[in-house]
Amino acid sequence: MSSAALAVAVTTFLASAVEGIEMVAIVAGVGVTRGWRAAIAGAAGGLVVLAVLVAVFGLALTAIPIGILRLVVGALLLIVGLNWLRKGIRRLAAQGLRGAGPGDPGPTEEEEVPRDRRDWTGFVLAFKGVLLEGLEVAFIVVTFGGTSNQLGVAVVAAIGALVLVAAFGLAIQPLVRRIPRSALQLAVGLLLTTFGTFWAVEGVGVDWPGSDAAIVGLLGLYVVVAAGYLAVERAGWLPRTAAGAASG
């Protein structure tokens, strides 16, 4: 392999792996909180639409207005993420790392998973996350591979990165299932809020300092904010818990 091909392969692999991690995080978050059927169906639907777009547009993929898609997907994730984040903070403050109990505020409409019909909320979240990140990977392949006449190398590198990230996601899934639901809901709310903020701001044409590295900074910021609200909520729950124990 020539030095040019090696450079394209490494660059494409690393860039695609970053997008793949975001993709797997969203699908896994939807899967563990709402159910894997909706998450897998949404991911599969996103991949099908992505394949059609790649087949139709090919190297002209960069003509697709990705900014509008980022804004729409980011706004959706931000709305749902903030709702789940708020609910996760309240549940963790009331129950700690235990399961549901008398003080559990109960599921919101966004969290309620339908028993007798398709879960469109989970489906749409996974679908849009996979489609957006898949388009990002396609743009990376076209940019690095097409401009250097190493398209085949870029395609193989991108597929390898996505397969590796997906395999890692499947490997850690049993560990994720063991996380208490209260903490898991808070974690997924943090992820959705972070990605939603990042994509929505990108969608209006603002470039984040450090590009994708800004996601780590955003996540850290929301973790600090959530910890502050959790402390406030926890302080409010303690007197109520003590009063309930005394009256009992």
Yes or no: say if 162 and 27 are a contact pair by the CB < 8 Å rule. Answer: no
In terms of residues, how long is the chain? 248
Q: What is the mean pLDDT of residues 143-171?
A: 84
- pLDDT digit string (tens) for 15-68? 888 888 888 888 888 887 777 888 899 999 999 998 888 888 776 766 667 788
**Better-scored residue on pLDDT, 233 or 130:** 130
User: Per-residue pLDDT for 116 more than 70?
Assistant: no
Which tokens is 160 given? 């390898």
Q: Could you tell me which of 247, 246, 237 has the C-alpha nearest to residue 98?
A: 237
Which tokens is 152 given? 């085949």
What does the pLDDT read at residue 220? 93
What does the pLDDT read at residue 224? 94
Total Cβ atoms within 10 A of residue 59: 13
What does the pLDDT read at residue 92? 78
What does the pLDDT read at residue 221? 94
Kindly give the interhelix angle for 151-177 and 120-141, rounded to the nearest 10 degrees: 150
**Better-scored residue on pLDDT, 246 or 143:** 143
- pLDDT digit string (tens) for 64-86? 677 887 888 888 888 888 888 88
CA gap 125, 112 in Å, rounded = 14
- pLDDT digit string (tens) for 208-245? 988 878 889 999 999 999 988 888 887 765 455 444 44
Contacts of 163 (CB under 8 A, 6+ apart): none
Tokens 């749902």 found at: 80
Q: How confident is the model at residue 101 (pLDDT cuts 50, 70, 90)?
A: very low
Distances in whole angstroms, Cα of residue 225 to Cα of each of 185, 220, 231: 16, 9, 10
Q: Could you tell me which of 15, 32, 13 has the C-alpha nearest to residue 126?
A: 32
User: Per-residue pLDDT for 100 more than 60?
Assistant: no
